[in-house]
Amino acid sequence: MKNLGSTLATVWRIAAPYFRSEDRWAGLALLGIVVTIELGIVAIDVLLNQWRNRFYNSLQEHNWDNFVYELKYFSVIAAIFIGIAVYQLYLNQWLQIRWRTWMTRRYLGEWLDDANHYRMQLLGDAADNPDQRIAEDIRLFVEQTLSIGIGFLNSVVTLVSFVIILWGLSAAAPLHVFGIQYDIPGYLVWGALIYAVLGTILTHLIGRPLIGLDFRQQQYEAEFRFNLVRARENAEQIALLHGEAAERGRLLDRFRDVIGNWMGIMVRTKKVTAFTAGYGQASVIFPYILVAPAYFAQKVQLGGLMQTAAAFSSVQGALSFFVTAYRQLAMWRSIVMRLEGFEAAIANARSYRERTDIIRVKPSSGTDISLRDLLLQLPDGAPLMNADGFTLRDGERTLLKGPSGAGKSTLFRAIAGIWPFGRGTIDVPANATLMMLPQRPYFPVGKLGDAIIYPSEAGTFDRDSVGATLAAVGLPALAGRLDEDAHWNRMLSLGEQQRLGIARALLHKPDYLFLDEATASLDEPAEAKLYRLLDDRLPDTTIVSIGHRNTLSTFHQREVVLEPTGATPETYAIEDAEKILR
């Protein structure tokens, strides 16, 4: 019960915000109509239960006129049922897509808010495969929450409606055992209750492991898909290294986790199904066993027998909701647990941003970027780099050098405000625009023109400006492909991607441009041409470069080198290592 209460509380916390959102009136209206239709379906079941009594009595009495009338009555009721059932499904699906749309926008917004997605990755939270949480788990949560909720409502209303009927039928068809009549008030109700309670307890004992199995299955499936995507995205490297055999083995290892857990689900599902199937079949004949003696004692007619059996079945089915929906409930709970974990990871990453013992990026009234008492750390707390009193001066071109692993790229991340691990303050001029260009720039899948000007919206720059910039960076042939849709990180060589990165910077004209080996895949003459282009087109932009080539010194006024501090072999510092180049 504790687990059930906790699950329901989590479901309410996840679901309730939608019904308080801007779309709440449409959502509540659709939900209200779906619920009303479900109540109507239960009412039709009650009418059909009464109809069974009259219909079978007309057969027993050989009454043709009543038989024909009951057929017409059934036809009308059946037509109404078909109509409202169709619209219930349609409106339910409409509610699902509206609810899912709202939840998807909300989760995407919280996940992608202010580099929260990156912090979640760095913190190593248990929110594995956020793509599945947002795409698959939200869809299943909405579908199954409505399905289970409406099913539970149907069971409750059916129980209330048919318990009254069954209680009355218990008096009309008293219990007979070996020819002796026992007047037990509502004995059919008590029989259905005992039958359902025993079935519920046994089902839970048999099927409880399915909750954990379903949770792990979602995780293993997501990890397998993720690794398949990774193999597809890195097809060139795999082919160059002839790594197909290794990759196949690695993927099959992941798939073995999927299969192994699935076998566990199969075994447990077989046991649950064996019990519930037997339970369901026994429930068909059980009411006849209870009422048949009264029928053969001529205490009740055929119609009363059939009505009683149907009413008993309705009550028993309502009471056995947990039994019949157990597999669905187990899967639903695993989905709720995954969304709960995702929300917790989002909240943890967001709260990390509010801590006082992290690196702070603050707006300043000056024109330089200043590092004060800055210590960069790895996520595990290990020190990486010290930088106290260092300044990136406005309008100056600075080359940052140092051994691999010294923290050069991490320093860029800290200045950008996405690396919180450490302490100290980074003062950045208020309203200054910063752009980071890594060695492998990101281009979203879509039109080339939109990919180049990312993250600006489509239409921010006119086609002539984009085309001229492409020609300037040495890619004139791409000017005619701006409307072409493709996966550009796969279509273009790394050198071409780096040229497009420079084109992006030329179009946006940031106040500060950070180049993290952003031209390393180009030959030295091509690199020199692009740096001269930056000098010419962005004269007022402060440029900071990370690079190892000595030829880069020509294009910078100042060189800064990261040196080991001697405190630990892995710690580096900026210690008056400035070298004025020009």
Same domain, 346 and 440: no
Q: How far is CA 395 from CA 56, 71, 518, 558, in A?
A: 95, 91, 19, 11
Q: Is the pLDDT of residue 466 over 90?
A: yes
The enclosing domain of 29 has a CATH number of 1.20.1560.10
Q: How far apart are CA 47 and CA 70, in angstroms?
A: 12
Domain end position, chosen among 321, 353, 385: 353
Residues 291 and 378 in one domain: no
Instruction: Kindly report the three-state secondary structure assignment for every residue of 199-258.
Output: HHHHHHHHHCCHHHHHHHHHHHHHHHHHHHHHHHHCHHHHHHCCCHHHHHHHHHHHHHHH
The answer to whether 305 and 288 have CB atoms below 8 angstroms apart is: yes
Q: Which residue has the higher pLDDT, 182 or 271?
A: 271
Residue type, 432: A
Give the span between the Cα atoms of 458 and 40, in whole angstroms.
50
* Residues pairing with 427 in the sheet: 362, 370
What domain count does the chain have?
Answer: 2
Q: Are 473 and 329 in a shared domain?
A: no
pTM greater than 0.85 (yes/no):
no
Residue 271 pLDDT > 50? yes
Separation in Å, CA 527 to CA 50, 471, 556: 87, 15, 13
Residue 378 belongs to domain spanning = 360-580
Q: Phi-psi region for residue 390, left (φ > 0), alpha (ψ -120 to 50) or beta?
A: beta
Alpha-carbon torsion 502, 504, 509, 514, what sign? negative
pLDDT at residue 228 greater than cutoff 60: yes
Cα of 484 vs its chain's centroid, Å: 30
Interhelix angle 64-111/116-123, rounded to 10 degrees, is 90
pLDDT (tens digit, 9 = 90+) per residue, 202-221? 887 888 888 788 888 878 88
Given a cut of 60, whether residue 1 has pLDDT beyond it is: no
Q: Are residues 341 and 439 in the same domain?
A: no
Same domain, 387 and 335: no
- My answer on whether 102 and 172 are in the same domain is yes
Domain check: are 319 and 372 in the same one? Answer: no
Q: Are residues 288 and 371 in the same domain?
A: no
CA nearest neighbour of 162 among 24, 245, 45 = 45
Question: Domain end: 304, 329, 353, which one?
Answer: 353
Q: Same domain for 373 and 300?
A: no
- For residues 371 and 344, membership in a common domain is answered with no
C-alpha angle 345/115/466, rounded to 5°?
145
Q: In terms of domains, do 423 and 559 share one? A: yes
CATH code where residue 446 lies: 3.40.50.300
Structure tokens, 277: 């199937």
Q: For residues 414 and 426, is the Cβ–Cβ distance under 8 A?
A: yes
- Pairing, β 434-437 against β 563-564: unpaired
Domain stops at, among 338, 353, 368: 353
User: Mind listing the pLDDT tens digit for each residue in 336-369?
Assistant: 888 888 888 888 888 888 888 899 999 999 899 9
Q: Verify that 243 and 389 share a domain, yes or no.
A: no
* Rama region for 387: left / alpha / beta (φ>0; ψ in -120 to 50; rest): beta
